[in-house]
A and B are shown apart, each in its own frame.
Chain A
């Protein structure tokens, strides 16, 4: 056992031995509702179901594809990405693939397969970073996917083919939209990606009676390097009506939209949505804001539901809170989405311009406890996939409110507006920023009197808040800190405490400020003498822990 020297790094999550003892799987029963197996299936039955469900035949064809020289295969390092719900099938799939690709027997083939489990960020997105750990040249993504464009790697989507009781679905649809009333109502059929394969069938059955019906087929971004296995979108690639990675089929015949001038959002707002499967909160919120009504059909329970749904107006309150927040935590919950880096930088700049302090956090699978660790952050801004990666706090669990970049942008603008839209696409948000900046430049005003600005009125509490712009005194601070630099040669203090703000290397640090007010102020604080002077000896530097979270160096030594 290591000695007492293994004290955790200040402010990191506390770890001790128990942290590294992994939970053992307790139950041996694995539930696979998606495969709709009978009770106690035999191994063969299971294998055949899995092959069928994941269209392994087709997948193998793709993987077997050879390079132009016809000798070696195109993809040699293949990563298979599974969401938590499907991880139970991973072993079987890998065995099957290895067998069929002849990886085991055939020494010639240099193909290697990896399983990417426990995706750090949203499981709907392709985890490029994890794939790059093994220099993968192809990612096979299993399960529901958001189809959002990724930056680099080629990818293959395998959604799986869940069994759906189409007759029941059609019946439920008809009870929800009685034919007498809704014969010509505008209704859109949509589903998550695994269920999309049945949409055409359902559409054809219903379109006879419902003249205003259309459905949403999958649509990949044309430039993407991704392909879909087990399902071929029926729609053409350059479909006319496209939104949220879906192409709307059945609209072409509607007269209203025949001419080329149409606004996709208006079209959507005229439609009622019938969605098969229940989407995650962010996606659902987005759907609710776009359509005139939303009905969900759960293919497992065969029930329809009409709410309650996440409420957009609740977010309006958070936006107000963002206005009076002094410190904003940029919570990066994706690394693979296109434009992520650009958006982080843009947001950081905007926050700084607004006189607020920001910190950037990269946290995988954020939860209440993880975020609560950063007490001094007043407001979180989450950058994530609009499918599953955005935290929509429905029951007020989180210690501090969480907003999206778009909402934060609204909050940071001088004059507060609320559009009733909920934009999550990074590209559109960036466009918004550019537009605003253009407008800003035109009327650039003198900001010299900033320091004298009155406190902000916080509409949420009806109070005045003076802490909403901690960086407002920045200029003031710079002047004084420059003066101090001269005398600073002898001073060993890392933290300078200036009149009312704390600066670390000439930047205001609200964290440090917060820390000053705390009872426990971090490691080494116990070396302070009573007068607040730092004793000359200080603490001894020790080498910390190294390695990755899966197993630190020290841990390996101890346990191996």
Chain B
């Protein structure tokens, strides 16, 4: 690798527009070709004998001494194998530790430690503190919208804690962020985070006490919400990073909701406040209003949340409560009210003022009267300015103005700095470019991130006392081990997987044995394995620090335990008995994965390679769902286009050796539903005639209830009484119906189709019916996971058992009899109830200028989408639009908008809901033009028939298959069915 063009992390630091450098960057990352030719040497020997020495002499003259010679007879038939087997060294991730390891194989661990980047503190001390004083640990995740500056903020912490060499070699020419946490090739290329990655740093608070910060940097793009969810599962609190210009976006709102649901405290970071001053040039008073507006926006969202009653943390965010931080990650400074107050008190040498009290007067309706030098709660008709404005904003405005107009020799800035903050820069620094100077100025003033550390320390509890979420852990004995594999990360050459593990209780020790419980442990009690902790690391972003023990509260990287881990797992002590043990419930990552493609290897013999690649994709990408469909196609489901793009990139280049795959056109998942009640009751019996059941279908016209089921606020694992109470109170069900809910389905307990027992005591033997409840539920789930229209799951449909005759003999009512019968009955009920197809809908959020509004709405119109509402973003010339577009029509929308609007509009797509596709899927007379767009009223039919054809299902979806032939003929004659 050419040292002048790259820094030690493989980042290109030469001219970005130099195409030569760009291409060599690629090759440097992907593979280095080195000749390796033992075999060929032999060949050349024989060659020499035959052809004499002449040839060799010639070659010697032509090439320099260090060139290896290979002589091949051109007359020989060409072989399939290349003469020189290229040594492929795949490396798609930057990992500094790998280089060190290979350099210092002989010298053992000590030299690895020595080879790591220098930090301003002692690593040994950090590790020691971490294991001995868990209460000093803070586990946080940085979350927020795309480009809100999360990764850049970590950069500033890294630069602060590491020796300056880590950020060196940066000139103004390529003033681009370090992006220390982005180490996957895709992340570097795209300049955006796609994977959650941890880093452990030691930071100091206002009293110079050290704290260990385990920080998880998460992706901002809505497609990668899975990574964010995984990160939140590992931490004790989140830092919500907001770009103050854009304000709270739809993505931020959903993050707030998730945090409340997960019951984690929120610290709000108002990032990029420099943009308010430098870009928007807001007057100083408006600046306060803008900041206040954002804080209130978050508070409003918090108060509206449905889970807020169970939220055990502060239900408001406010600078006064010390859970709002002001920051500018570009200029590398953060402050809170307290740290600013501290600045004042420390630099001015005033004593006897309570810093807390002082800081509380710096926000809100406090006004500062310069004459009397007193705070008041009255602005005196606007004559007085707010304390926040006069104490904090005005100095910052002043600093920026002076810095930008500063010229060498100008004394205003140095005197301002010295008089107010007691800092001075050396003369050389004043000569720099204003941008860099500004950075230096802020660095001199704010010095470090103590305000941030203080806020986190006070708002987010330490792992000792923070509650363990996702498990009912009250009765855990003290000596037990409990840890959670949050997600897996691949090593830099993708040969193995490492687990990101949060230790909740006990210790993980290198070489010790632990029990790893897979995510299906609850259903399949074979799904566990005793494994050895082979490697243990603290993460440093682009390097790893080997450690021996990870104690309570640590977030570490563990090697060697991933063999049964799919997305996540639970770790227990090896000697723990597995009776009644609980595992961490896995977040439902795949529920929003509605966008799909089918893949197959271009060369069929490479199928095993592709399967191995898919297996790794499944481990590496949380929201990716891999399956083989009815049609025999390998299908990858992902939440969105960008996500799928990354998955396919990795499948081709990272997890396989440049495997050629064929990728189908993008498709979506569908669902089936009904819009009216069944027109007639049809009784289905078993072949033996001993049992029969009648089930009808009805639409579940209650989106609130569907949402409640999916979000888990109604859960059948609760006692039946609670469920029925919720149904009665919140959804207005009558008591009988509320009590008779049997089952949700199809997947888990969280899909909104349900089965009701609506039988009457007089007609049906309830006791017998209950004895086969399991079988009926199983049949019900089977039928609604593969609907009769085109084998897609059934949603939003209420199935009611009207009556049933169940045989008194145990053998007669075995599952094999009941399950198929229930399935048929469900289908019969479904097909007699005006069935419809449903498709997933994305909600579109666009931030754009006024002029781009019309364009965006036109683009959406062409894709069956629409804009629902729009509003101006306060304090900016921007507008935020919210609308909907069907997922199947959304392909390329993001690019389309960007190109047409020429950067004036940014759009975010997130899965929002399911909607009925217009048209009757069962109507055989639908007009289906070939090679032309299908009219709206035939869409459903078109989708169903195409899906059926793709899946290789023969014929029409028809009731005929599921009911008695005589009955069908009778129904037809009466004109009830077509």
Point out residues on A near B: beta carbons under 8 Å.
8, 14, 308, 310-317, 320, 368-369, 372-373, 375, 394-396, 399, 415-420, 454-455, 457, 459-464, 466-467, 500, 520
Produce 1/0 per residue, B922-953, CB < 8 A to A: 00000000000000000000000000010111
Contact A416 B607 (CB under 8 A): yes
Contact A416 B633 (CB under 8 A): no
B659 part of interface (Cβ distance < 8 Å): no
Q: For the complex, what is the distance from the CA of A395 to the CA of B961, rounded to whole Å?
A: 9
Contact of B618 among A14, A311, A312, A457 (CB under 8 A): A457
Contact B626 A372 (CB under 8 A): no
From residue 283 to 328 of chain B, which have CB atoms closer than 8 A to chain A? none
Produce 1/0 per residue, B949-965, CB < 8 A to A: 10111110000010000
A and B contact pairs by CB, cutoff 8 A, 9 listed: A308-B955, A310-B952, A317-B630, A317-B631, A395-B961, A418-B604, A466-B526, A466-B527, A466-B564
Q: Of all chain B residues, which has the CB nearest A318?
A: B632
Q: Of all chain A residues, which has the CB nearest B810?
A: A520
> What 20 new A-B contacts, CB under 8 Å, besides A417-B608, A459-B615?
A14-B809, A14-B811, A14-B812, A308-B952, A311-B952, A313-B633, A315-B632, A373-B816, A375-B815, A394-B953, A395-B954, A399-B819, A417-B604, A454-B529, A455-B564, A457-B611, A464-B518, A466-B524, A467-B524, A520-B814
Q: For the complex, what is the distance from the CA of A463 to the CA of B564, rounded to whole Å?
A: 10
Q: Interface size (B, Cβ < 8 Å)?
A: 47
Contact A462 B625 (CB under 8 A): yes
From residue 529 to 551 of chain B, which have CB atoms closer than 8 A to chain A? 529
Min Cβ gap B691→A in Å is 12
B566: A residues at CB distance < 8 A: 462-464
Contact A312 B632 (CB under 8 A): yes
Q: For the complex, what is the distance from the CA of A454 to the CA of B518, rounded to whole Å?
A: 12
B814: A residues at CB distance < 8 A: 375, 520
Q: For the complex, what is the distance from the CA of A263 to the CA of B647, rounded to whole Å?
A: 41
Contact B786 A396 (CB under 8 A): yes
Q: Given that A417-B608, A418-B607 are contacting pairs, would A317 and B816 also be in contact in the complex, using a CB cutoff of 8 Å?
A: no
Contact A320 B526 (CB under 8 A): no
Produce 1/0 per residue, B599-634, CB < 8 A to A: 000001101100100110010000001111111111
Q: Of all chain A residues, which has the CB nearest B824?
A: A397
Produce 1/0 per residue, B513-528, CB < 8 A to A: 0000010100010110
B608: A residues at CB distance < 8 A: 415-417
B954: A residues at CB distance < 8 A: 308, 310, 394-395
B961: A residues at CB distance < 8 A: 395
Produce 1/0 per residue, B190-216, CB < 8 A to A: 000000000000000000000000000
Q: For the complex, what is the distance from the CA of A454 to the CA of B496, rounded to whole Å?
A: 14
Contact of A454 among B564, B688, B820 (CB under 8 A): B564
B618: A residues at CB distance < 8 A: 457, 462
From residue 658 to 712 of chain B, which have CB atoms closer than 8 A to chain A? 687-688
Produce 1/0 per residue, B251-269, CB < 8 A to A: 0000000000000000000
A457: B residues at CB distance < 8 A: 611, 615, 618
Contact A461 B627 (CB under 8 A): yes
Q: For the complex, what is the distance from the CA of A461 to the CA of B526, rounded to whole Å?
A: 17
A317: B residues at CB distance < 8 A: 628-632
From residue 344 to 386 of chain B, which have CB atoms closer than 8 A to chain A? none
Min Cβ gap B886→A in Å is 25
A415: B residues at CB distance < 8 A: 608
Contact of A416 among B611, B809, B952, B955 (CB under 8 A): B611
Q: Given that A14-B811, A375-B815, A395-B961 are contacting pairs, would A460 and B627 also be in contact in the complex, using a CB cutoff of 8 Å?
A: yes
Contact B627 A462 (CB under 8 A): yes
Q: For the complex, what is the distance from the CA of A369 to the CA of B815, rounded to whole Å?
A: 11
Q: Of all chain A residues, which has the CB nearest B815?
A: A375
Min Cβ gap A294→B in Å is 14
A464: B residues at CB distance < 8 A: 518, 520, 527, 564, 566
B812: A residues at CB distance < 8 A: 14
Contact B604 A314 (CB under 8 A): no
> Which 8 interchain pairs have the tightest Cβ spacing?
A311-B952, A313-B632, A316-B632, A454-B563, A462-B626, A372-B816, A466-B526, A457-B615
Q: Of all chain B residues, which has the CB nearest A461?
A: B627
Q: For the complex, what is the distance from the CA of A320 to the CA of B615, rounded to whole Å?
A: 13
Contact of B791 among A312, A396, A467 (CB under 8 A): A396
Produce 1/0 per residue, B398-416, CB < 8 A to A: 0000000000000000000
Q: For the complex, what is the distance from the CA of A454 to the CA of B530, rounded to whole Å?
A: 11
Q: For the complex, what is the distance from the CA of A457 to the CA of B628, rounded to whole Å?
A: 12
Q: For the complex, what is the distance from the CA of A453 to the CA of B289, rounded to whole Å?
A: 62
Produce 1/0 per residue, B793-832, CB < 8 A to A: 0000000000000000111101110011000000000000
Q: For the complex, what is the distance from the CA of A463 to the CA of B688, rounded to whole Å?
A: 36
Q: For the complex, what is the distance from the CA of A502 to the CA of B811, rounded to whole Å?
A: 23
B955: A residues at CB distance < 8 A: 308
Q: Of all chain A residues, which has the CB nearest B565?
A: A464
Q: For the complex, what is the distance from the CA of A368 to the CA of B819, rounded to whole Å?
A: 12
Q: For the complex, what is the distance from the CA of A372 to the CA of B633, rounded to whole Å?
A: 27
A396: B residues at CB distance < 8 A: 630, 786, 791
Residue of A313, A419, A420, A520 with most chain B CB atoms under a 10 A cut-off:
A313
Contact of A313 among B688, B819, B952 (CB under 8 A): B952
B614: A residues at CB distance < 8 A: 459
B630: A residues at CB distance < 8 A: 314, 317, 396
Q: For the complex, what is the distance from the CA of A373 to the CA of B812, rounded to whole Å?
A: 11
Q: For the complex, what is the distance from the CA of A310 to the CA of B630, rounded to whole Å?
A: 12
Contact of A459 among B518, B634, B815 (CB under 8 A): B634
Contact of B607 among A310, A417, A454 (CB under 8 A): A417
Contact A399 B820 (CB under 8 A): yes
Contact of B952 among A8, A314, A320, A520 (CB under 8 A): A314
Residue of B604, B630, B810, B954 with most chain A CB atoms under a 10 A cut-off:
B954
Q: Of all chain A residues, which has the CB nearest B606?
A: A417
Q: For the complex, what is the distance from the CA of A233 to the CA of B632, rounded to whole Å?
A: 40
B688: A residues at CB distance < 8 A: 14
Produce 1/0 per residue, B491-528, CB < 8 A to A: 00000000000000000000000000010100010110
Q: For the complex, what is the distance from the CA of A14 to the CA of B686, rounded to whole Å?
A: 13
Contact of A395 among B626, B819, B953 (CB under 8 A): B953
Contact B820 A459 (CB under 8 A): no
Q: For the complex, what is the distance from the CA of A420 to the CA of B604, rounded to whole Å?
A: 9
Residue of A320, A368, A415, A455 with most chain B CB atoms under a 10 A cut-off:
A455
Q: For the complex, what is the distance from the CA of A484 to the CA of B814, rounded to whole Å?
A: 35
Min Cβ gap A529→B in Å is 19
Q: Of all chain B residues, which has the CB nearest A307?
A: B954
Residue of B611, B628, B955 with most chain A CB atoms under a 10 A cut-off:
B628
B626: A residues at CB distance < 8 A: 459, 462
A461: B residues at CB distance < 8 A: 627
Q: Of all chain A residues, which has the CB nearest B687?
A: A369
Min Cβ gap A319→B in Å is 9
Q: For the complex, what is the distance from the CA of A47 to the CA of B625, rounded to whole Å?
A: 65
A14: B residues at CB distance < 8 A: 688, 809, 811-812
Min Cβ gap B606→A in Å is 10
Q: For the complex, what is the distance from the CA of A373 to the CA of B628, rounded to whole Å?
A: 27
Contact A399 B518 (CB under 8 A): no
Min Cβ gap A6→B in Å is 14
Residue of A310, A320, A372, A459 with most chain B CB atoms under a 10 A cut-off:
A459
Min Cβ gap A63→B in Å is 41
B632: A residues at CB distance < 8 A: 311-317
Contact A313 B631 (CB under 8 A): yes
Q: For the complex, what is the distance from the CA of A315 to the CA of B819, rounded to whole Å?
A: 24
Min Cβ gap B490→A in Å is 16
Q: Of all chain A residues, which has the CB nearest B690?
A: A14
A314: B residues at CB distance < 8 A: 630-632, 951-952
A420: B residues at CB distance < 8 A: 604
Q: For the complex, what is the distance from the CA of A368 to the CA of B816, rounded to whole Å?
A: 10
Min Cβ gap A144→B in Å is 22
Min Cβ gap B794→A in Å is 15
Q: For the complex, what is the distance from the CA of A372 to the CA of B618, rounded to whole Å?
A: 32
A373: B residues at CB distance < 8 A: 816
